[in-house]
Amino acid sequence: MSRFFPAKTRRSPFRPLATLIAIGAAIALNACASSPVALRGTADLATVIARASGEVAILDTSNKQFTGIIGGLGDLSHASIVYARDGRFAFVFGRDGGLTKIDILSHEIVARTLQAGNSIGGAISQDGKLVAVANYEPGGVRVFDTETLELVADIPTTIDGGPDRSKVIGLVDAPGNRFVFSLWDTGEIWIADFSAGNTPSVTRYQNIGIQPYDALITPDGRYYIAGLFGEDGMALLDLWHLQSGPQRILDHYGKGEERLPVYKMPHLEGWAIAGKRAFVPAVGRHEVLVIDTETWQEVGRIPVHGQPVFVMAHPDGRHVWVNFSVPDYDTVQIIDTQTLAIDGELKPGTGVLHMEFSPRGDQVWLSVRDDNKVVGYDPYTLKPIAELPLPSPSGIFMSDRAGRIGL
């Protein structure tokens, strides 16, 4: 399969792509469900979203080339991907409410449903049987069977029992076949527990703070943390001790200081924990915050190049990488997690939207939107290892996410 997407022969990102789409279509026509797929593992594969063309490219990080591309995925202007537990199938959440199951080996769409009008992301359950989507319109969470994409449960986020609904953000999976998510409009955290079957029991926590904009769960699945846009601080829910309810952390941060206009919402997915320190993007400030994960107190602020969007830890924990919002998104900075100093900087091109490390950290891949390319680096030498054309790339998702809580 890898031979039909040779990176070296591609010059313009668009013309070869059209050819490839044609080839891809031809292959899709030839391939039926029983078509043989070259025997190989998926642990070195990643999916890369091409946001403007509604496609997902499959990146082979061993051979450093795309092995295929899957089109017809709708509006991917804000899209994300989770993996089935076998690491072969992936679920693509589109902006337009599209939920698509793809096969990253055969490069085919396995199932697709337009499940809402406007969506922001999703999660897969601990047992791999349920895939949940966070919806803006109509506000709520819809849960589907991962085999068939048939609707299993619908959880509308109604406001005071009326017709209005809140937008849902920060949907993650939690241990015990639970989904946890936050409500932008009403400042709540909800837990939908599917451990007893397909009819969830839903727990609501109200008054967690104004306008939670994104959330994450720690890699052990214990703490769910929602960032707040409408006020300073974050809401922390300890899933081991739910009776304590959500606690406010970092609420002193930025008090009395005027923050900058926030040109792009920071992302908390991919939260960086190195040792017992966590690194999070500050909202509306050119800073990365450092938090002690035992006390949840702020222990440092690192001045950076612009407003951070993603703060991602290298798998070895020695460094965290930071990218920035417009107009500073030509730069990536690398922070030493021991000294908290900026230890390196890259200028890969305009519009660096996302970064993803290979599972053991020998590579890092960056999507550079306006230069229509995906660039791989050796994170130790900061030397480029590959540059692959792809129109308007955004999220990059390594298949090892299949085995990780909260991703």
Partner 1 sequence: MRKLHKTIGTLVAGWTFLVAGPAVASELQEHARTPSALEQMVRQDCGSCHGLTFKGGLGSPLLPENLENYSVEDLSSIILDGLPGTAMPPWRAIISESEAAWMARYLKTGGSK
**Cα distance between residue 212 and residue 277, in whole Å:** 22
Q: Which of 93, 144, 181, 184 lies at the binding interface for partner 1 (CB under 8 A)? A: 184
State phi, psi for 99 to the nearest 5 degrees. -125, 120
Pair 111, 103: CB distance under 8 Å: no
Return the number of the residue (99 or 105) whose C-beta is nearest partner 1: 99
Q: Does residue 299 belong to the site contacting partner 1 (CB under 8 A)?
A: no
261 binds partner 1 (CB under 8 A): yes
Site stretch for partner 1 (CB under 8 A), options 75-83, 123-131, 245-253, 287-295: 75-83
Phi, psi of 25 (to 5 degrees): -65, -40
- Order of all β-strands in the sheet with 308-313: 308-313, 319-324, 332-336, 342-346
Q: Does 262 bind partner 1 (CB under 8 A)?
A: yes
Name which of 204 and 259 has its Cβ closer to partner 1: 259
| Dist CA 312 CA 243 (whole Å) | 31
Q: Which residues, numbered 303-332, are part of the site for partner 1 (CB under 8 A)?
A: 326-327
Does the footprint of partner 1 cover residue 89 (CB under 8 A)? Answer: no
Radius of gyration of the chain (CA): 20
Q: Report 224-243 residues binding partner 1 (CB under 8 A).
A: 229-230
**Which residues are CB-neighbours of 49 under 8 A, at least 6 positions away?**
55, 56, 76, 79, 80, 81, 92, 367, 393, 394, 395, 396
User: 212 vs 389, which CB is nearer to partner 1?
Assistant: 212
Question: Could you give the CA distance from residue 162 to residue 139 in angstroms, rounded to a whole number?
Answer: 12
What would the x/- binding string for partner 1 be over residues 133 to 172, using CB under 8 A?
---xx-----------------------------x-x---
For partner 1, the closer CB: 258 or 294: 258
Q: Mark the segment that binds partner 1 (CB under 8 A) among 18-26, 198-206, 262-270, 379-387.
A: 262-270
| Beta bridge pairs of residue 298 | 291
Residue closer to partner 1 by CB (options 179, 213) is 213
Q: How far is the CB of 307 from partner 1 (least distance, A)?
A: 10
Q: Which of 59, 120, 235, 302 forms a contact with partner 1 (CB under 8 A)?
A: 120
Cα separation of 344 and 365, whole Å?
16
Contact (Cβ atoms closer than 8 angstroms) between residue 185 and residue 203: no
Q: What does the block give as tokens for 227? A: 């960032």
Q: Using the rule CB under 8 A, is 392 a contact of partner 1?
A: yes
* Site track for partner 1 across 97-116, x = CB under 8 A: --------------------
Going from the C-alpha of 99 to that of each of 95, 156, 182, 184, 200, the distances in angstroms are 9, 18, 20, 22, 21
Please compute, for residue 19, the number of CA atoms within 13 A of its CA located in the half-sphere on the CB side. Answer: 10
Binding site for partner 1 (CB under 8 A): 51-52, 75, 77-78, 95-96, 117-118, 120, 136-137, 167, 169, 184, 211, 213, 229-230, 261-265, 326-327, 351, 369-370, 392
